[in-house]
């Protein structure tokens, strides 16, 4: 163990975390209407005032989680509450079973809604985490409602109130049909179960049972050990669909999934599951790391690699953040130095290409050779990038290094 290197890495991570927190509190927080803006430029200027509903939940969770890890700070609590109350008042369709929109205006007027239901998932964990801090039961009630709604929509146990809405966007992936299985649903719900279990331990049995079902679906349908990949979309029985959608591999998703599974394996004391999670990580990293330019590729095609589409070869912020968390968690859990070398490689890459030490936060992304995107050069936020992935990675890696240096027993 290179203790000096770990401490140096941790010092940078903590400084970067402080800069990133300040960026969102200063530039993203809408003090007038509530909630958070995410379409921000390099210096934090607001480029568009429509608000991502995902990010109201993700921002609310993130700042609640920061309070859990580092101790409550009033500004963090106020930011989280602002996101949650804006979400409850303006992003939930109270007339249609608490389904949630995708985008709203600055003042909360609905702009876009989809039959996909990740808004509900992120709103669930935000309310649960905030309840865990404050003990205010209305937040747990909201979390439980969103938790059940996500599950029921996921498994088609209820009719979706948005399904027949002519203005609701269907799933926007070309070629997708409702009988296909997509890995985002079980993997995100697995993580949701983890948050709910921690914040609502009285219902651990329910959260464990559903987490077990998610793990089963991931390995039964999506994980293809014989060809060393994990597919985003498969047929009803897990069959490979020979189309761009069916052949798609998302290295960032797979690496994120690997640490979700490692966490659950640690919680259960399941070494076999942990090894399977490590295998998912290795396959995704081996296929997705760009040896020529550095960084994790955005997408891969089972047949054509990153050449399938120019978007596949881009370097986007969030897969890089997952490549910080997963190998460091594996290093903590196994002591295998190879994982720390991967983490070091990824951290050095992110420092060089994504971090902005002057204005804070990370850039949205680049082309494969790190040429800036023409449509949003040096932007720091968009409808999918807000106070979440970068903050989560910095917070978690800080605490993982603490665990490693202090030899803290692993656990969820």
**392 has a pLDDT exceeding 70:** yes
Q: Which two tokens stand for residue 241?
A: 């669909």
**64 has a pLDDT exceeding 70:** yes
Predicted TM-score (pTM) of this structure = 0.95
What pLDDT is attached to residue 313? 94
What pLDDT is attached to residue 172? 61
Segment 401-405 mean pLDDT: 96
Segment 201-214 mean pLDDT: 98
What pLDDT is attached to residue 88? 98
What pLDDT is attached to residue 377? 78
Segment 378-406 mean pLDDT: 96
34-38, 134-138, 305-309, 336-340: the lowest-pLDDT one? 305-309
Q: Which two tokens stand for residue 322?
A: 């997952």
What pLDDT is attached to residue 294? 96
pLDDT over 70, % of the chain: 98
**100 has a pLDDT exceeding 90:** yes
Segment 369-389 mean pLDDT: 91
**168 has a pLDDT exceeding 90:** no
CB 99 within 8 A of CB 93: yes
CB 107 within 8 A of CB 33: yes
Architecture of domain 1-27+180-354+386-412: Alpha/alpha barrel (1.50)
Q: Among 148-162, 231-245, 316-330, name the most confident range.
A: 316-330
What pLDDT is attached to residue 109? 97
**316 has a pLDDT exceeding 90:** yes
What pLDDT is attached to residue 374? 82
Torsion over CA: 379, 381, 387, 390 (sign): negative
Segment 181-208 mean pLDDT: 97
Residue 398 banded pLDDT, cuts 50, 70, 90: very high
Segment 79-96 mean pLDDT: 97
What pLDDT is attached to residue 378? 87
Show me where the domains of the chain are located. Answer: 1-27+180-354+386-412, 50-172
CB 325 within 8 A of CB 393: yes
What pLDDT is attached to residue 141? 98
What pLDDT is attached to residue 174? 59
Tell me the C-alpha distance between 271 and 327, whole Å: 16
Segment 128-155 mean pLDDT: 97
Residue 175 banded pLDDT, cuts 50, 70, 90: low
Segment 119-140 mean pLDDT: 97
**224 has a pLDDT exceeding 90:** yes
Segment 40-56 mean pLDDT: 96
Query: Bigger pLDDT: 178 or 232?
Result: 232
What pLDDT is attached to residue 376? 77
Count the residues in the chain: 412
């Amino acid at each position: 163990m290179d203790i000096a290197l770990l401490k140096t890495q941790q010092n940078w991570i903590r400084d970067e975390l402080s800069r990133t927190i300040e960026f969102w509190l200063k530039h993203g927080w809408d003090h007038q209407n509530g909630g958070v803006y995410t379409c921000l430029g390099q210096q934090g200027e607001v480029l568009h005032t429509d608000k991502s509903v995902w990010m109201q939940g993700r921002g609310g969770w993130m700042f609640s989680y920061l309070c859990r890890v580092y101790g409550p700070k009033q500004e963090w609590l106020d930011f989280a509450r602002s996101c949650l109350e804006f979400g409850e008042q303006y992003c939930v369709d109270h007339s249609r079973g608490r389904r949630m929109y995708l985008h709203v205006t600055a003042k909360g007027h609905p702009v876009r809604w989809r039959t996909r239901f990740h808004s509900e998932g992120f709103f669930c964990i935000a309310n649960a985490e905030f309840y865990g801090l404050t003990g205010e039961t209305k937040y747990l009630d909201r979390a439980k409602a969103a938790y059940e709604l996500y599950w029921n929509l996921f498994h088609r146990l209820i009719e979706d109130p948005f399904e027949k809405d002519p203005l609701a966007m269907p799933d926007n992936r070309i070629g997708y049909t409702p009988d296909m299985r997509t890995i985002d649903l079980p993997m995100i719900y697995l993580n949701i179960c983890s948050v709910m279990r921690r914040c609502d331990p009285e219902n651990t049995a329910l959260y464990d049972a559903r987490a077990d079902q998610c793990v089963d679906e991931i390995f039964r349908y999506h994980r293809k050990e014989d060809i060393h990949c994990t597919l985003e979309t498969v047929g009803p029985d897990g069959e490979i669909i020979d189309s761009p959608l069916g052949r798609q591999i998302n290295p960032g998703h797979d690496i994120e999934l690997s640490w979700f599974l490692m966490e659950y394996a640690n919680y259960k004391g399941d070494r076999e599951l942990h090894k399977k999670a490590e295998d998912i990580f290795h396959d995704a990293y081996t296929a997705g790391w760009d040896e020529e330019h550095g960084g994790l590729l955005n997408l891969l095609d089972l047949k054509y690699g990153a050449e399938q589409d120019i978007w596949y070869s881009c370097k986007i912020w969030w897969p890089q953040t997952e490549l910080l968390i997963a190998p460091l968690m594996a290093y903590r859990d196994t002591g295998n130095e190879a994982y720390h070398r991967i983490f070091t490689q990824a951290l050095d890459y992110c420092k060089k290409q994504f971090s902005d030490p002057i204005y804070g936060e990370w850039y949205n992304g680049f082309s494969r050779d790190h040429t800036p995107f023409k449509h949003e050069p040096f932007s720091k936020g968009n409808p999918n990038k807000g106070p979440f992935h970068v903050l989560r990675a910095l917070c978690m890696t800080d605490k993982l290094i603490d665990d490693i240096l202090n030899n803290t027993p692993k656990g969820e």
